[in-house]
Amino acid sequence: MERREHEDNEDNDAMTHEQWQRQVTDALGMFGWCWMHARRSIGKAGKWTTAVNIVGWPDLLCWHPTRGLLAIELKVKPDRLRAAQRDVLASLRQAGVQTLVAYPEGAQSLVDALSRPRSNPLCKQCCGRVQK
């Protein structure tokens, strides 16, 4: 079980959540990780919602043939973890899943966590990314 949080970051006004997610998913693909993201959509009440049955579910669920499962919650300032997100991450850790709260300012730590290279040829099939 691993737990990493990068909440001691500096302001990064230029980075949006979508841009940060794209950078992270690109890095996941480079290092042989497959990943799943539940997309947000406008719900019945006209508010943004994610179609999962667990409030606080992390942005990305990732898996690697030798590194196991990793749940990543992505944040950009001024966003902070909500209580429900903390609870879900704690529950996942108790189940043996590695968790990571990743801010753009902690990008190097994220790369370090992902970069133990080992190609997964099946990843082309599961997430549609060609591994390098």
Of residues 25 and 130, more confidence is placed in 25
Count other Cβ atoms within 10 Å, centred on residue 5: 17
Count other Cβ atoms within 10 Å, centred on residue 25: 20
Q: What is the pTM of this model?
A: 0.74
Under the banding of pLDDT at 50, 70 and 90, the label for residue 44 is confident
* 76-115 per-residue burial string, b: 16 or more CB within 10 A, e: under 16: beeeebeeebeebbeebeeeebbbbbbbbbbbeebeebbe
Of residues 12 and 39, more confidence is placed in 39
Instruction: Find the mean pLDDT for residues 89-116.
Output: 93
Instruction: Find the mean pLDDT for residues 61-80.
Output: 93
Is the predicted pLDDT of residue 100 greater than 70, yes or no? yes
**Torsion 28-29-31-32 (CA) sign:** positive
